[in-house]
Structure 1
Amino acid sequence: MTVSRHPPMDVESRLAQWVAGLSLRDIPDSVLAVARACMADGVGVMLAGSTTPLAEQCAALPCADGMCDIVGSASRADAPSAALLNGVAGHVLDFDDTSYAGIVHGTAAVLPAVLAVAQASDADGARLLEAFVAGVETEYALGLAMTDSLYDQGLWTTATLGVIGAAAGCAKLLGLDAASMAHAIRLAANMPIGLRITHGTSGKPYLCGMAARLGVELAYAAKAGITGQAGTFEKPRGYAATLNGGVFHAPAIDALGMRYALLDPGVAFKLRPMCSAMQAAVDAVIALRGQHAWTLDEVESINCYGTALVVSCLPYRLPAHPSEAQFCMPFAIACTLLHGDVRLEHLNIAALADPDLRQLMQRVELHEDENLVPPADIQTCPEAARVDIRLRDGRLLSHTVLAATGMPQRPASTEILFDKFMACATLALPSEHAQAIWTRLQRVEHLPHTRSLFDSTTSARRT
């Protein structure tokens, strides 16, 4: 008797089979709650980002008319262009969520892409939410499979993996079967855009927008019948071998549907518009201000100790531009000492030129401390920080924060996220219109038409 043996399924087919079979009713409520929070936070940050000079610059890029909202504007565009512009707006302030499954901003590329395709086809909110989960979970599964190796080698995984997540989510919305969806993923794997050297420039948010745009285009390409090579991830001269030194942890792919990365390792929501590597240090400074009586005139020196990831993410010492300040620990600490926190209004040239701020920044030093986090906790506390403030009278004030507020183990409350959303959204919209969008996003699966998500936005801008 002959026994039929089927060859093992390649990574792309396994991903595609899971995405194609995913149904909203099968996703746990706890996962959907995090997904809605990510979408609402992402939209709020897009609205704030739409008011920035970079968003205005990118609005001059060529784009075609269409049915997809350019968030924060009365204008609409075709799906690829809307994905690009909304992706730029969603990441320009570096205020969007982060996951440590590969160290990515998962919402940043996936949400603009799936939103654009949903609006192009006038899909309902349930399909949008379903596609968003499919896209980010694909991206996170690949991030876990690649480990932190891609990021450590200098690839900016938000774009490098984000284009794949965006393509998978868009393919889900387009209703592709598993075979075609696998080709969308293969094609996206051929677009490893983004290098960490770009951090601190306008190219970083632009490349996030390009990842979203490419995700849209590659899903449509697969729908049209364009194919990639089976085994793109694991074969010689494939993704893992070429970009990641052969590192690929296959069980992360097998766990899709059993482990949702939206819950484990979870998503960090930022409370300040800057790199996540600075958030714990700011929490530490705020704690020291509340615990001890002292003035800035008494400060002799400030030393911040962070993990290897913290130090590697923050190359700037005295930033010349706001985009550099978002990757500068001396700025984060000095700004918090002067103003009590770091807020959107502190990210401008005038604020950076403040002589008191510049003088304080020069007193801040950043150091790596490999013993800061117990080895058993490094996976859950990858961006811990300790701040030591030496006063002129000899006192040493010290505080350690292993996980900033907003991290999965110290989650931000719905009230905090709502306040952040409103602070961001009202930069572009009247308060009542912003609140209407928030309310829709809390029940996004009940929205009959995704084209109506921003109705209040467009009516406000058109009057």
Structure 2
Amino acid sequence: MFVDPISESDALEHAAALAGLGRWAHAFELSELGESARTALDDVLANLLAVAAGGAATEEHAALVAAWDPEPGSATLLGGGTATVETAAWLNGVASVAMERDEGNRLTKGHPASQSFFAVLALAERLGSSGPDTLAALAVAYEVAARFGRATDFATGVHTHGTFGVPGAAAGCARLLGLDAAGISSAIDAACAMPPSTSWGPVLVGSSVRDQWVGAGNVAGIAAARFAAARPGETVRGTLPGFGGSLGTVDPRLLVAGLGTETLIEHGYFKRHSSCAYTHAPADAALLARERIAAAGATPADIVAVEVSTTAAGAALDATDWTTRHGAYFSVPFAVASALVHGDVAHSRSAPSARGILLDTAAMITVTDGGIAPASATHRPARVTVTLRDGSSVVTEVPHPAGDADFTPFDRAAHAALLDDALVGVTSPAASTVVAVVAALPHAGRAGDQFALLRSH
């Protein structure tokens, strides 16, 4: 009556996959990571801490924190002092996506770290966990989250923020709580029944409520781990008939495919633009066009039309006007106009007060999903054709956005620049402090002693 019948074979296959994840998460040792994966973990953590600190320093986030009026607690609250575990996990998670600069992973359809790391970090401070134990829990959280993102065929209209990260957060937190393999599996199972119900609807009207889903997902992960600790062995069947009930269907084979030999954190991407990842290839192509326009002796004022060809997902983000930051983040015309006019897509460009200078250019931009073929199912190409006042045109094309570990990786200097960019105008912490905190974790007796250095002073 309430759900479609679940076959015994499906139930057994899903249970076996969750049990496999639990066994792996319990037995995992940080030393198992190869050099590439270990570097990726440090890069992801440093980048996330920097963009979260930058997000915490914004006026919008300060207003949110003031509305929460958080009580002091055992966990670091970026942009402030301390808060309870749950408050820190929620608000730091929100801060990490506030500037649209957090690391993502195209294989997972979203952002594993922002959805899971702040649950682990807050709980680690509360428990007094060591640096190595915390890093191992973060690695577990990312891998489990990423595998759920990869294995889930999300329903039409679902936005993935705060969804697939919940089982990752639960796995990392359950490990910190000392649960055994069966307990971690139970935490993952419970987490799959607890993600927020999300939709592209609020996103496409420019609402920042989307960011709250990340906070909710982090807290749900903590709650799922605690539920498993209190109800050992309880069967939830959180992936059946669908993940989170109706968010999507999970392929249990993909949850465990390559487990222990394949590390998904190595396949992420980093963002140099403060905008949705689907706008990045168009912005990259627009930056190239800007250079060629200047080389021809012209300026952005000479532009009379711009045509952007990109993926179907990017072409859907075609708004030529916006009244909020998030409206700008999810607009290809915004990102392309900012790249052409300013030579960047910095966070400051998305402020409603900064839109005026971009609107005329944005109105000239049309976005289509025809005429350009991706090199693979996960490539996100773009072509930008700029027509100038004298009738000439400039055509630029990129096969994939810059910053993808597999196709277009950033070098070490670029990674450092990303931290600096995220912390523009932030007095504390400095990028050097973030780097030092991450570097010290493998030797830290208490991870919280390091995270405390990130508090505003």
Question: 1:408-449 CA deviation, whole Å, 9 max, x = no partner?
Answer: 211112222212212323533347x54123122134322222
- Shift of the alpha carbon at 1:380? 3.9
Question: 1:217-243 CA deviation, whole Å, 9 max, x = no partner?
Answer: 22122112266526442x5x3439844
1:215 is aligned, of 215, 218, 221, to 221
- Shift of the alpha carbon at 1:184? 1.0
**Structure 1 partner of 2:414:** 416
2:346 is aligned, of 325, 340, 343, to 343
**Structure 2 partner of 1:3:** none
- Shift of the alpha carbon at 1:32? 1.2
**Structure 2 partner of 1:453:** 450
Whole-angstrom distance in 2 between the partners of 1:384 and 1:54: 33
Whole-angstrom distance in 2 between the partners of 1:254 and 1:420: 32
Is 1:300–2:309 an aligned residue pair?
no
Q: Following superposition of structure 1 onto structure 2, how do residues 361-372 of structure 1 map, counting pairs within 5 Å?
A: 361-369=362-370, 371-372=371-372
Question: 1:83-137 CA deviation, whole Å, 9 max, x = no partner?
Answer: 0010011011111011112311111111111110111111122111111110111
Whole-angstrom distance in 1 between the partners of 2:250 and 2:89: 31
Q: Following superposition of structure 1 onto structure 2, how do residues 265-344 of structure 1 map, counting pairs within 5 Å?
A: 266-292=267-293, 293=296, 294-312=298-316, 314=317, 316-344=319-347
Q: Give the direction of change, closer, same or farther, for the CA distance of 1:92–1:227 in structure 2 (3 Å limit).
A: farther
Whole-angstrom distance in 2 between the partners of 1:240 and 1:296: 47
Q: Following superposition of structure 1 onto structure 2, how do residues 178-197 of structure 1 map, counting pairs within 5 Å?
A: 178-193=181-196, 194-197=198-201
**Structure 1 partner of 2:403:** 406
Is 1:67–2:68 an aligned residue pair?
no
Q: Give the direction of change, closer, same or farther, for the CA distance of 1:247–1:67 in structure 2 (3 Å limit).
A: closer
2:122 is aligned, of 116, 121, 146, to 116
2:401 partner letter? A
Whole-angstrom distance in 2 between the partners of 1:62 and 1:225: 32
Q: C-alpha root-mean-square deviation of aligned residues, in Å? A: 2.1
Q: Following superposition of structure 1 onto structure 2, how do residues 28-427 of structure 1 map, counting pairs within 5 Å?
A: 28-59=34-65, 60-61=67-68, 63-73=70-80, 75-146=81-152, 149-150=153-154, 153-193=156-196, 194-199=198-203, 200-225=206-231, 228-229=234-235, 231-233=237-239, 235=240, 237-239=241-243, 242-244=246-248, 246=249, 248=251, 250-263=253-266, 266-292=267-293, 293=296, 294-312=298-316, 314=317, 316-352=319-355, 354=356, 356-369=357-370, 371-374=371-374, 377-381=375-379, 383-408=380-405, 409-425=407-423, 427=425
Whole-angstrom distance in 2 between the partners of 1:290 and 1:412: 20
Whole-angstrom distance in 2 between the partners of 1:255 and 1:164: 18
Q: Secondary structure at the match of 2:264?
A: coil
Quick check: 2:104–2:112 contact (8 Å CA) kept in 1?
A: yes
Q: Secondary structure at the match of 2:184?
A: helix
Quick check: 2:161–2:213 contact (8 Å CA) kept in 1?
A: no
Unpaired segments ≥5 residues, structure 1? 1-6
**Structure 1 partner of 2:3:** none
Quick check: 1:36–1:444 contact (8 Å CA) kept in 2?
A: no
Q: TM-score, normalised by structure 1?
A: 0.89
Q: TM-score, normalised by structure 2?
A: 0.90
2:282 partner letter? A
**Structure 1 partner of 2:432:** 435
**Structure 2 partner of 1:4:** none
